Structure 1
Amino acid sequence: MIGRKKEIAELNKLYDKNSAEFVAIYGRRRVGKTFLVDETFAGRITFRHAGLAPNKDDAKGQMKNQLEHFYKSLLLHGMEECDKPKSWLDAFFLLEKFLQKIDNGSRQLIFIDELPWLDTPRSKFLQAFEGFWNTWACHRKNLMLIVCGSANSWILAKLINAHGGLYDRVTHEIKLAPFTLSECEEFYKSNNVKLSRYDIVQSYMIFGGIPFYLGYVDGELSLAQNIDNIIFAKNAKLKDEYDRLFASVFENPDFVKSIVNLLGKKNAGYTRQEIIEKLHLTDGEGITKNLKALITGDFVVKYVPFGFTKRESHYKLVDPFCLFYLKLVKELKTTNEKFWQQNTSSHLLSSWRGNAFETVCFNHVEQLKKSLGISGVNTSSSAWSKRADDEEGTQIDLLIIRDDNVINMCELKFYSGEYDVDNKYYKTLMTRESLLQKEVSPKTVIRSTLVTTFGLKKNEYSSVFSNVILMDDLFD
């Protein structure tokens, strides 16, 4: 398995304990939650079940279908035929009886995938699940229960942060994050896909670190050919993925997409109040719940822009696939099945790469810190802009604000060769540094830092940068 070493170690440690364990795994759709459990516990799962996806066309029959599916899972695992359960209390009672019958004293691992989908309206699923754990399962030292799902808001609200009968019952939680660039590289190599790091970064700009998406990349094709096949072809594998992302995870997918669509329009993001105003919403629980779910799913980050207060926290879209879709699929609406191959050197894609590289860097701040030798220093990361009033306005892609009285003012440049600083850009950088210096304490040192692909070309202006971080450093 690629990556996930920490998670695998945690799961195996819990498996080897002599105590009842209740593990909740959550994360973005397609990030590999099921694969993690399957690979870690191959041949060791006593009973497994996966909920059926919600079906709006058969709302009344959802509970019946879920119960019948659960019953059939029990049969597949060896339970003798009996009356089908008519409620979730019946269903979990059957599971208890089955596990007791086959109990030989060894570890029993129960894996319920897409658990939130089982909680259909008026099904009383949660009450029965609570009874299963509190009355029976938690008292069995040889039992380990793993649940997961992509509906992160449900996992958090109903399990991890529950206030009722399941309060403090989860013994361990794992949030599965997308791959880093290094893990993407390792994944491609394991699939015999040969890409340069320059192309791997570009693939990350589109697919992010989502293993499911990366798995569609064909090693016999160029990156451009792959992008056309996966995104722009008539029957492209990910043609409808953007809508599926939200339809399968959120109760009100159209509402969530309206938030994401808005955040995709501004690199720095918006405050909660700005989101409410621009979408003409009422200030209620719905916006709070969905913003939290987007953050938990690694679609959005919440941060405080430099010079702002916590009340002015911004929500920024950082999911590469969503950003790519909104800019180059939804907005363009092209029907050209060879779009990427025919436009790879165009100004449109060059401009997009420049913006997308900012997201790559924003998602790899830990690697930037390591390259700077400040992994042990407490930091915060932020964009910064100053509106043009009496002074000239400016914008800085990324600030790394450090507790050791240093700020790294990062310029992020995705180039096909060495970056060449000219006189005009030199003056721009000096102006930015001067404006930023007025906003910070006199004891703070500002270091202009270049993050780029292949390095900095030496000339009379290149000394403006105190630090240069290369693309290769992002793979560390």
Structure 2
Amino acid sequence: MSELVGRTYEIDLLRSALKNNKSELIAVYGRRRIGKTFLIREVYKKDIIFEVSGLHNGTMSDQLQNFTNAIVKNWGRKRVVTPASWLDAFALLEAYLNSIKTKKKKVIFIDEFPWMATAKSKFLMMFENFWNSYCTKRNDLIVVICGSAASYMIQKVIKNKGGLHNRISQKVRLLPFTLSETELFLKSKGIKYTHYDICQIYMVMGGVPHYLEKLRKGLSVAQNVDRLCFEKDGLLRTEFDELYQSLFDNSDKHMAIIKALSTSNKGITRQQLIEKSNIFSGGDFSSKMEELIESGFVSDYTYYGNKKQLSLYRLSDEYSRFYLQFIFSNKDNGAGTWIRLHKSNRFVAWSGFCFETLCLKHVGKIKQALRIEAIYSTSSSWFNDTAQIDLLIDRDDNIINLCEMKFYNGLFSIDKSHYLNIKNKVQQVQKLVGNKKNIFVTMITTFGIKENGYSNELVQNSLLLEDLF
């Protein structure tokens, strides 16, 4: 990764801290491989005066020595006695900061923050003390704490009820690239794919920068997927278990939820998910779900009318679904596996569902293409015994967009079966809302719809894949 691509909102958020006249505590969190460290270093490359990263599985002694070495490196002192406690370590950091006389904003960057909090070390307590008793008395510091260990960052930092409660001035939740950011990233690497090809890449690995970084220029989508997911040393062939274990405490439960969700293409309710995952309802299940949602692996979709018990949870992490659908059962089949599989009926079914999830992630782009971004609207799912609708956009101008999403390698033709299916959905929603709203059928397809009698009767809006970019 050689240049900063996309991330406009996050960059503006981080840069705004340089412009005010108070000290700021910023927490950056998100799944591993998402580019947190790179983003912080790039935005603050002229302003970082101290940077340290926690050591994975390091002891308290290891962490203190590493912390001290980072201070020595920045301070320029040749000999400093390594502190025996975090109270003394932060006192040493304060002494170093006091020696810097410039008035401009100074950034302290602590990466892999959770790894430093070893058992019985009192690291978090002493960091809280450092922030509350020292940093808040100055107006020229930006302290950025960052970590991939989602369980710790969410439960101990973001939801902290102790010394950091209401002290975090900015929370930056870093999610995968959007489709347009993915396109920019690939172009920066000299990879020029069509929107259809970028969509296929996204459906395999999502917008995770580290995964996209491994795509090789000059190879087709199928060749790149084959190389990364099925060849012996492919990065994504063994990433699944490592991913969840690195992010979450008791990751077996998180993985049980992910595997349960992977069995459903349309999403399932909370109660169904509890039964399928065999995790008892209550605080444990709720905290695991919160961590998965905050990290971008799972999305919850409100049921029309805000009936919470009918809200649907979907596995929204593309790589996890692809792994469980294709890699897990084919990981020993070697090179050429995806070249064969990507023409199968399984691929057709999988790609159709993935495209729906992709559309749900880009609802803002859909509203923009419909030119309704200035109109207040809510997005939700709806289902009954005879129909399921993944996306309803309920607008304040008395319109409901009933969105149908279809992934196809050419013009999509609405045949009699599709016509009857969509017609039933319209009738069911019309019964639900009565005469208060007009129902507009909105087709979202890769290359558009083939005009015929069915499409002329049903479809009010037709959007293309490129509208999601």
TM band (smaller chain) = over 0.9
CA drift at 1:2:
1.0
CA drift at 1:341:
1.6
Tell me which residue corresponds to 1:390: none
CA drift at 1:453:
0.8
Q: In structure 2, what is the Cα distance between the partners aligned to 1:6 and 1:279? A: 36
Alignment partner of 1:64 is 2:61: yes
TM-score by length of 1: 0.93
> Which segments of structure 1 move beyond 3 Å, counting only runs of 4 or more?
102-106, 331-334
Tell me which residue corresponds to 1:74: 71
Q: In structure 2, what is the Cα distance between the partners aligned to 1:297 and 1:201? A: 22
Tell me which residue corresponds to 2:103: 105
Alignment partner of 1:8 is 2:11: yes
Q: Provide structure 2 residue ranges, at least 5 long, that are not aligned to the other structure.
A: none
1:48 is paired with a residue whose SS is strand
CA drift at 1:9:
2.3
- Structure 1, 357-366 or 38-47: larger mean CA deviation: 38-47
CA drift at 1:443:
1.0
Q: Does the aligned pair in 1 maintain the 2:393–2:400 contact within 8 Å?
A: yes
Which aligned pairs between 1:328-339 and structure 2 lie closer than 5 A?
328-333=326-331, 335-339=333-337
Q: Tell me which amino acid in the other structure corresponds to 1:193.
A: I
Q: Does the aligned pair in 1 maintain the 2:230–2:334 contact within 8 Å?
A: yes
Q: In structure 1, what is the Cα distance between the partners aligned to 2:367 and 2:237? A: 36
Which aligned pairs between 1:416-431 and structure 2 lie closer than 5 A?
416-431=409-424
Alignment partner of 1:30 is 2:27: no
Q: Provide structure 1 residue ranges, at least 5 long, that are not aligned to the other structure.
A: 56-60, 388-392
Query: Cα deviations across residues 251-281 of structure 1 (Å, max 9, x unaligned)?
Result: 1111111111111111333333333233333
CA drift at 1:137:
1.6
1:46 is paired with a residue whose SS is strand
Q: In structure 1, what is the Cα distance between the partners aligned to 2:77 and 2:35? A: 29
Tell me which residue corresponds to 2:429: 436
For residues 424 and 299 of structure 1, do their structure 2 counterparts lie closer, same or farther at Cα, with a shift above 3 Å needed? same
Q: In structure 1, what is the Cα distance between the partners aligned to 2:285 and 2:374? A: 36
TM-score by length of 2: 0.94
Tell me which residue corresponds to 1:58: none
- Structure 1, 377-386 or 165-174: larger mean CA deviation: 377-386
Which aligned pairs between 1:182-261 and structure 2 lie closer than 5 A?
182-261=180-259
CA drift at 1:292:
0.8
Q: Tell me which amino acid in the other structure corresponds to 1:7.
A: E
Q: In structure 1, what is the Cα distance between the partners aligned to 2:311 and 2:412? A: 33
CA drift at 1:79:
4.1
Q: Tell me which amino acid in the other structure corresponds to 2:30.
A: G
Which aligned pairs between 1:244-283 and structure 2 lie closer than 5 A?
244-283=242-281
Q: In structure 2, what is the Cα distance between the partners aligned to 1:461 and 1:303? A: 30
1:130 is paired with a residue whose SS is helix
2:440 is paired with a residue whose SS is strand
- Structure 1, 311-320 or 211-220: larger mean CA deviation: 311-320
Alignment partner of 1:42 is 2:19: no
Match among 296, 300, 303 for residue 298 of structure 1: 296
CA drift at 1:203:
0.7
Q: In structure 2, what is the Cα distance between the partners aligned to 1:457 and 1:308? A: 35
- Structure 1, 113-122 or 198-207: larger mean CA deviation: 113-122
What is the count of residue pairs matched by the alignment? 464
Q: In structure 1, what is the Cα distance between the partners aligned to 2:440 and 2:17? A: 45
Q: Tell me which amino acid in the other structure corresponds to 1:281.
A: I
Q: Does the aligned pair in 1 maintain the 2:151–2:249 contact within 8 Å?
A: no
Q: In structure 2, what is the Cα distance between the partners aligned to 1:239 and 1:290? A: 25
